[in-house]
Amino acid sequence: MAFKNRTEPIILSKLRILNKRLELSDEEKRYLSYLDKGYKGELLFDAMTETLTSSCLILNELLLEVERTTFQIDTLIIFSSALYLFEIKTNQGDYLYKPDGLTSLTTGVTIKNPLDQLNRTKLLFKKLLNQLGHNFKIHGSVVFVNPEFTLYNAQPDLPFIFPTQIKRLHENLNNQPGTISTNHYKLATKLVSLHQIESYHNKLPTFHYDELKKGITCLVCESFEVEATHKYLECDVCGSKELIESAVMRTVKEFRLISPDSEITTSAIQDFCAVIEDGKRIRRILAKHLRIDGSRKWTKYR
């Protein structure tokens, strides 16, 4: 079990919501797809690390800062004698390795050499460790998790791990000697406390609340074609059912994510949900799950 679990990036969650309630630009849709593929690739790598039986601490998704510079570690594994950090890539297709980047043999487009990012991360992480009074040896690797990825012309001594080598990586990590100590736990705890929730570089598309499509979407197919019955929200497209209480609170979570500065009131949530006509029903659900702030028509929920 990981010492720090991976969660879906907030910017990805927000873009998912906006994508179904707003017409995103082509560039924004590409960014959403990029984030989604990256997150799925990270989860794929997590599935491997979760089966490790060696003495270690696994920290997923760290966004850290040192000397006013932020850097991200996709996966960090703490062993007794060394730290292993992994940069996870989900590239697909055939690429040619060059020191200045990886060139797609299909499109001819050259992307940044992932070693540059890996080396930057290692350098900044080492600085942070020194500030914290630690001097562990750091190993870093770029892991390509997509089985449909091939990289030509890459020297075998480069810190690349290809899909066919992930099983061997698992074996190597499982054979790491030693046992983690209190000192390792203290380091892991400190790093988790330094983790930043979201980078300031991540910005949402500009939108006005009135532009958003209102309604509760189906939990299964995300269709807006749903009907509220006495107890359930029923989808006219796939036929799935969800308890109205659950559907409303799921939609409240969406409301909070994309409109964090807006107050949660009965009228605001009723407007956002659209399909629940009974305001009293909304009020009862909010009162059950959230803390009441104020009274009567000025009631807000936290």
Domain co-membership, 188 together with 237? no
Domain co-membership, 275 together with 169? no
What's the predicted TM-score (pTM) here? Answer: 0.89
N residues, the chain? 302
Over residues 2-12, mean pLDDT:
94
Domain co-membership, 37 together with 146? yes
Q: Output the CA–CA distances (angstroms, integers) from residue 148 to 34, 46, 89, 144, in the order listed.
A: 16, 19, 12, 10
Domain co-membership, 116 together with 248? no
Residue 200 placed within a domain: no
Q: How confident is the model at residue 296 (pLDDT cuts 50, 70, 90)?
A: low
Q: Residue 294: pLDDT above 80?
A: no
Contact between 43 and 50 (Cβ < 8 Å): no
Helical residues (DSSP H) of 175-278, grouped into ranges: 182-194, 244-258, 266-273
CA distance 216 to 228: 10
Name the domain count of the chain.
2
Residue 202 placed within a domain: no
Among candidate residues 179, 181, 65, 79, the one with its CA nearest the CA of residue 132? 65
Q: Residue 80: pLDDT above 60?
A: yes
At 167-194, the pLDDT tens digits run 999 999 999 999 999 999 999 999 999 9
Domain co-membership, 176 together with 90? yes
Cα end-to-end span (Å), the chain: 32
CA distance 173 to 293: 51
Residue 258 lies in domain: 214-301
Q: Which of 2-16, 155-169, 195-209 has the lowest mean pLDDT?
A: 195-209
Pairing relation of β-strands 149-152 and 160-161? Answer: unpaired
Tell me which of 162, 194, 226 is where a domain ends. 194
